[in-house]
Amino acid sequence: MKSNNNIIESDKFSFWYGNIRALKEIDIQIEKNKITAIIGPSGCGKSTLIRSFNRMNDVYENAIYGGRITFKGINIFDKKTEITDLRKCVGMIFQKPNPFPMSLWENIAYGPKTHGIHEKSHLDEIVERSIKLAALWDEVENRLGESALGLSGGQQQRLCIARALSIEPEVLLLDEPTSALDPIATGKIENLIIELKNKYTIAIVTHNMQQAARISDYTAFLYLGELVEFGPTRDIFERPKEKLTERYITGRFG
Protein backbone atom coordinates (compact mmCIF):
# COMPACT_ATOMS: atom_id res chain seq x y z
CA MET A 1 0.00 0.00 0.00
CA LYS A 2 2.04 2.88 -1.31
CA SER A 3 1.41 6.08 0.60
CA ASN A 4 3.21 9.30 1.43
CA ASN A 5 2.56 8.35 5.06
CA ASN A 6 4.76 5.25 4.91
CA ILE A 7 7.81 5.61 7.16
CA ILE A 8 9.37 2.18 6.47
CA GLU A 9 9.10 0.31 3.17
CA SER A 10 10.68 -2.92 1.96
CA ASP A 11 11.15 -3.67 -1.72
CA LYS A 12 11.77 -7.31 -2.66
CA PHE A 13 13.66 -7.70 0.61
CA SER A 14 15.33 -11.05 1.22
CA PHE A 15 17.52 -12.29 4.05
CA TRP A 16 19.85 -15.24 4.45
CA TYR A 17 21.57 -16.76 7.48
CA GLY A 18 24.51 -18.05 5.47
CA ASN A 19 22.98 -20.50 2.99
CA ILE A 20 19.59 -20.53 4.70
CA ARG A 21 17.08 -18.14 3.16
CA ALA A 22 14.80 -16.82 5.89
CA LEU A 23 12.88 -14.14 3.92
CA LYS A 24 11.88 -14.13 0.26
CA GLU A 25 11.30 -10.84 -1.57
CA ILE A 26 9.13 -9.16 1.06
CA ASP A 27 7.21 -6.02 0.05
CA ILE A 28 5.68 -4.32 3.08
CA GLN A 29 4.88 -0.76 4.12
CA ILE A 30 4.77 0.55 7.68
CA GLU A 31 2.50 3.58 7.88
CA LYS A 32 3.22 6.49 10.19
CA ASN A 33 1.27 6.57 13.48
CA LYS A 34 -0.31 3.20 12.80
CA ILE A 35 0.17 -0.22 14.39
CA THR A 36 1.26 -2.97 12.02
CA ALA A 37 1.09 -6.55 13.31
CA ILE A 38 3.22 -9.31 11.83
CA ILE A 39 1.74 -12.77 12.37
CA GLY A 40 2.55 -16.32 11.31
CA PRO A 41 3.66 -19.67 12.75
CA SER A 42 7.00 -20.17 14.50
CA GLY A 43 9.99 -20.03 12.19
CA CYS A 44 8.21 -18.14 9.41
CA GLY A 45 10.55 -15.12 9.52
CA LYS A 46 8.57 -12.64 11.64
CA SER A 47 11.38 -11.73 14.03
CA THR A 48 13.96 -11.74 11.24
CA LEU A 49 11.86 -9.20 9.34
CA ILE A 50 11.26 -6.83 12.23
CA ARG A 51 14.91 -7.03 13.30
CA SER A 52 15.90 -6.06 9.77
CA PHE A 53 14.07 -2.73 10.04
CA ASN A 54 16.83 -1.33 12.27
CA ARG A 55 19.59 -3.71 11.14
CA MET A 56 19.62 -5.64 14.39
CA ASN A 57 20.45 -8.74 12.32
CA ASP A 58 23.88 -7.26 11.65
CA VAL A 59 25.02 -9.07 14.80
CA TYR A 60 25.10 -12.31 12.80
CA GLU A 61 28.40 -12.75 10.93
CA ASN A 62 26.72 -14.72 8.14
CA ALA A 63 23.86 -12.26 7.60
CA ILE A 64 23.17 -11.51 3.92
CA TYR A 65 20.64 -8.94 2.75
CA GLY A 66 18.96 -8.63 -0.64
CA GLY A 67 16.60 -5.97 -1.97
CA ARG A 68 15.90 -2.74 -0.10
CA ILE A 69 14.44 -1.40 3.10
CA THR A 70 13.98 2.35 3.33
CA PHE A 71 13.38 4.53 6.37
CA LYS A 72 11.83 7.86 5.41
CA GLY A 73 12.94 7.20 1.84
CA ILE A 74 16.60 6.45 2.66
CA ASN A 75 18.02 2.98 1.98
CA ILE A 76 19.10 1.68 5.40
CA PHE A 77 21.73 -0.57 3.79
CA ASP A 78 23.49 2.32 2.08
CA LYS A 79 27.13 2.56 3.17
CA LYS A 80 26.48 6.13 4.31
CA THR A 81 23.81 5.02 6.78
CA GLU A 82 24.87 5.49 10.39
CA ILE A 83 23.49 2.48 12.23
CA THR A 84 23.58 4.32 15.56
CA ASP A 85 21.40 7.07 14.12
CA LEU A 86 19.05 4.52 12.56
CA ARG A 87 18.57 2.71 15.87
CA LYS A 88 17.99 6.00 17.67
CA CYS A 89 15.08 6.62 15.30
CA VAL A 90 13.89 3.00 15.16
CA GLY A 91 13.84 1.51 18.67
CA MET A 92 13.44 -2.15 19.63
CA ILE A 93 11.60 -3.93 22.46
CA PHE A 94 12.36 -7.63 22.84
CA GLN A 95 10.32 -10.68 23.82
CA LYS A 96 11.80 -11.00 27.28
CA PRO A 97 12.13 -7.84 29.41
CA ASN A 98 15.82 -6.97 29.65
CA PRO A 99 16.28 -4.14 32.16
CA PHE A 100 19.86 -3.26 33.00
CA PRO A 101 21.04 -4.37 36.50
CA MET A 102 20.95 -0.80 37.80
CA SER A 103 18.38 1.61 39.17
CA LEU A 104 15.20 2.54 37.35
CA TRP A 105 16.55 6.07 36.92
CA GLU A 106 19.82 4.83 35.44
CA ASN A 107 17.98 2.50 33.06
CA ILE A 108 16.12 5.42 31.50
CA ALA A 109 19.01 7.92 31.64
CA TYR A 110 21.44 5.50 30.00
CA GLY A 111 20.38 6.20 26.41
CA PRO A 112 20.29 10.00 26.67
CA LYS A 113 23.71 9.92 28.38
CA THR A 114 25.20 7.96 25.47
CA HIS A 115 23.86 10.65 23.15
CA GLY A 116 25.59 13.42 25.09
CA ILE A 117 23.05 14.58 27.66
CA HIS A 118 24.61 14.80 31.13
CA GLU A 119 22.84 17.63 32.97
CA LYS A 120 21.03 16.08 35.93
CA SER A 121 17.95 18.29 35.70
CA HIS A 122 17.57 17.51 31.98
CA LEU A 123 17.98 13.80 32.63
CA ASP A 124 15.40 13.98 35.43
CA GLU A 125 12.92 15.50 32.99
CA ILE A 126 13.60 12.79 30.40
CA VAL A 127 13.27 10.00 32.98
CA GLU A 128 9.94 11.32 34.27
CA ARG A 129 8.53 11.98 30.80
CA SER A 130 9.55 8.56 29.48
CA ILE A 131 8.17 6.64 32.45
CA LYS A 132 4.91 8.58 32.25
CA LEU A 133 4.64 7.81 28.51
CA ALA A 134 5.07 4.13 29.40
CA ALA A 135 2.18 4.36 31.89
CA LEU A 136 4.45 3.31 34.76
CA TRP A 137 5.00 6.54 36.73
CA ASP A 138 2.28 6.06 39.36
CA GLU A 139 3.73 2.66 40.23
CA VAL A 140 7.41 3.61 40.50
CA GLU A 141 7.76 7.36 41.14
CA ASN A 142 9.06 6.69 44.65
CA ARG A 143 11.31 3.81 43.58
CA LEU A 144 13.54 5.42 40.96
CA GLY A 145 16.69 4.70 42.99
CA GLU A 146 15.85 1.02 43.40
CA SER A 147 17.07 -1.82 41.17
CA ALA A 148 14.98 -2.37 38.06
CA LEU A 149 15.33 -6.10 38.66
CA GLY A 150 12.92 -5.75 41.59
CA LEU A 151 10.00 -4.90 39.30
CA SER A 152 7.40 -7.43 38.15
CA GLY A 153 7.67 -8.83 34.62
CA GLY A 154 5.01 -6.48 33.26
CA GLN A 155 6.59 -3.48 34.96
CA GLN A 156 10.01 -4.46 33.59
CA GLN A 157 8.61 -4.58 30.06
CA ARG A 158 7.03 -1.13 30.43
CA LEU A 159 10.37 0.11 31.84
CA CYS A 160 12.07 -1.23 28.71
CA ILE A 161 9.53 0.64 26.59
CA ALA A 162 10.25 3.79 28.62
CA ARG A 163 13.97 3.24 28.05
CA ALA A 164 13.38 3.03 24.31
CA LEU A 165 11.25 6.19 24.41
CA SER A 166 13.94 8.14 26.30
CA ILE A 167 15.93 8.79 23.11
CA GLU A 168 12.80 9.96 21.27
CA PRO A 169 12.51 7.44 18.44
CA GLU A 170 10.02 7.74 15.61
CA VAL A 171 9.33 4.01 15.29
CA LEU A 172 8.98 1.28 17.93
CA LEU A 173 9.59 -2.33 16.94
CA LEU A 174 8.12 -4.84 19.41
CA ASP A 175 9.07 -8.51 19.10
CA GLU A 176 6.51 -10.62 21.02
CA PRO A 177 6.49 -8.06 23.88
CA THR A 178 3.78 -9.82 25.92
CA SER A 179 4.55 -13.51 25.35
CA ALA A 180 6.17 -13.87 28.80
CA LEU A 181 3.47 -11.89 30.65
CA ASP A 182 0.24 -12.78 32.42
CA PRO A 183 -3.13 -11.59 31.02
CA ILE A 184 -3.33 -8.52 33.29
CA ALA A 185 0.16 -7.31 32.37
CA THR A 186 -0.56 -8.13 28.72
CA GLY A 187 -3.66 -5.93 28.82
CA LYS A 188 -1.66 -3.03 30.23
CA ILE A 189 0.96 -3.35 27.49
CA GLU A 190 -1.73 -3.54 24.79
CA ASN A 191 -3.45 -0.40 26.12
CA LEU A 192 -0.08 1.33 26.23
CA ILE A 193 0.70 0.40 22.62
CA ILE A 194 -2.64 1.79 21.45
CA GLU A 195 -1.95 5.07 23.30
CA LEU A 196 1.59 5.34 21.95
CA LYS A 197 0.54 5.22 18.30
CA ASN A 198 -0.67 8.80 18.63
CA LYS A 199 2.97 9.81 18.84
CA TYR A 200 4.91 6.87 17.40
CA THR A 201 4.76 4.36 14.57
CA ILE A 202 4.61 0.77 15.82
CA ALA A 203 5.35 -2.62 14.30
CA ILE A 204 4.67 -5.66 16.48
CA VAL A 205 5.44 -9.34 16.01
CA THR A 206 2.89 -11.52 17.77
CA HIS A 207 1.86 -15.17 17.90
CA ASN A 208 -1.41 -14.04 19.46
CA MET A 209 -3.89 -13.48 16.65
CA GLN A 210 -6.49 -12.07 19.05
CA GLN A 211 -3.91 -9.49 20.08
CA ALA A 212 -3.24 -8.56 16.45
CA ALA A 213 -6.98 -8.20 15.86
CA ARG A 214 -7.43 -6.07 18.99
CA ILE A 215 -4.67 -3.53 18.59
CA SER A 216 -3.39 -3.30 15.02
CA ASP A 217 -4.44 -1.21 12.04
CA TYR A 218 -2.65 -3.41 9.50
CA THR A 219 -1.64 -7.06 9.57
CA ALA A 220 0.99 -8.96 7.60
CA PHE A 221 0.83 -12.77 7.46
CA LEU A 222 4.13 -14.53 6.85
CA TYR A 223 4.59 -18.22 6.05
CA LEU A 224 7.88 -19.99 5.31
CA GLY A 225 9.64 -16.68 4.76
CA GLU A 226 7.09 -15.32 2.30
CA LEU A 227 4.53 -12.56 2.71
CA VAL A 228 1.24 -14.32 2.02
CA GLU A 229 -1.09 -11.39 2.62
CA PHE A 230 -0.91 -7.82 3.91
CA GLY A 231 -3.67 -5.31 4.42
CA PRO A 232 -6.04 -3.64 6.88
CA THR A 233 -6.45 -5.87 9.92
CA ARG A 234 -10.22 -6.14 9.59
CA ASP A 235 -9.86 -7.36 6.00
CA ILE A 236 -7.23 -9.92 6.95
CA PHE A 237 -9.37 -11.38 9.74
CA GLU A 238 -12.83 -11.02 8.22
CA ARG A 239 -12.25 -11.15 4.45
CA PRO A 240 -8.86 -12.78 3.76
CA LYS A 241 -8.02 -13.04 0.07
CA GLU A 242 -5.74 -16.05 0.40
CA LYS A 243 -6.88 -19.53 1.43
CA LEU A 244 -3.67 -19.98 3.43
CA THR A 245 -4.48 -16.87 5.46
CA GLU A 246 -7.99 -18.11 6.15
CA ARG A 247 -6.66 -21.51 7.27
CA TYR A 248 -4.15 -19.91 9.63
CA ILE A 249 -6.45 -17.39 11.30
CA THR A 250 -9.15 -20.06 11.79
CA GLY A 251 -6.64 -22.28 13.58
CA ARG A 252 -6.42 -25.06 11.00
CA PHE A 253 -2.63 -24.97 11.18
CA GLY A 254 0.21 -23.12 12.91
What's the CATH code of the domain at 45?
Answer: 3.40.50.300
| 165 falls within a domain | yes
pTM of the predicted model, to two decimals? 0.93
| 1 falls within a domain | no
What is the domain extent for residue 240? Answer: 6-249
| 145 falls within a domain | yes
Q: Is the pLDDT of residue 3 over 70?
A: no
> pLDDT digits over 172-217, tens only?
999 999 998 999 999 999 999 999 999 999 999 999 999 999 999 9
Total count of domains within the chain? 1
Rounded Cα gap, residues 72 and 122, in angstroms: 29
| 254 falls within a domain | no
**243: number of Cβ within 10 Å:** 9
> pLDDT digits over 136-180, tens only?
999 999 999 999 999 999 999 999 999 999 999 999 999 999 998
Rounded (10°) angle between helices 153-165 and 183-196: 20
| 192 falls within a domain | yes
